[in-house]
Amino acid sequence: MLLSNRVAIITGGARGIGRGIALKFAEEGCSIVIADIITLEARKTVEEISSRGRNAFFITSDVSDSRQVQNMVDQAINKFGKVDILANVAGVGPHRQSIVDVIEEDWDKVIDINLKGVFLCCQAIVPHMKEKGYGKIINISSLAAICPAGPMVHYNASKAGVMALTTDLGTELAPFNICVNAIMPGIIRTHMLDQNVAPGTNKEDYYETMRKLVPMGRVGRPEDIAGAALFLASDLSSYMTGERILVAGGLPWKYIR
């Protein structure tokens, strides 16, 4: 197994992409810490992992709060003795809206969770990884960071910021054997994307429209992102850092070439 005897913290691991990554890592022998604010679904994910014979536990953690983030890291280390992998998945995706309609509170919320949250989690775990001389950090950005699908200035900016943070940390932490890479998901069917379905629109019709945009002919699944995350979490990617992987079924190159 690719992650035998490894320990991973996965923020936003209760559902969607985070849950997919948690299940995939556990399948490969990893012990899992689910960090989320969605208690019921987080506990269900932990139960599913435990039922498969893997170690898992849940920590309530708001990634935009530095005290909660540090507590998350401390609890994970106390529980397992180490943390080898950090997957920064927690995020929010607002509805499309023009910049003139974005209020300051909404801008702050999106940036605090999607960008500051990644910064705080990395800041909290890096001293431990440096001490151990090993670490894998995987940041979830978005195709929207380089090819915005619509006016969502706060979301698009936050995901572009994650890309810059990844590049910076990849360089800074390389001498310590800590690899920092990013995944840019394309159209992935999750609860977050469900929220973009306009009121009165049939959800299946919406996803059929999305499917037709993708050269591979289907909307992505959390498992598709989990496969890329597994590669970045394993030693198969030991000579990669500061990089980004686009997992989008052929988007956006169909439209910009």
DSSP 90-159: ----PPPB-GGG--HHHHHHHHIIIIIHHHHHHHHHHHHHHHHT-EEEEEE--GGGTS--SSBHHHHHHH
Assess whether 155 carries a catalytic annotation.
yes
Q: Angle at the Cα of 137 (from 157 to 11), degrees rounded to 5? A: 70
Determine contact, residues 248/100, Cβ cutoff 8 Å: no
Q: Locate 77 and state its tokens.
A: 């280390």
Q: Locate 177 and state its tokens.
A: 């054997």
Determine contact, residues 130/178, Cβ cutoff 8 Å: yes
Select which of 134, 155, 239, 255 is catalytic. 155
Sheet holding 85-88, edge to edge: 56-60, 31-36, 7-11, 85-88, 135-140, 178-185, 244-247
Would you please indicate which residues are annotated as catalytic (active-site) residues? 155
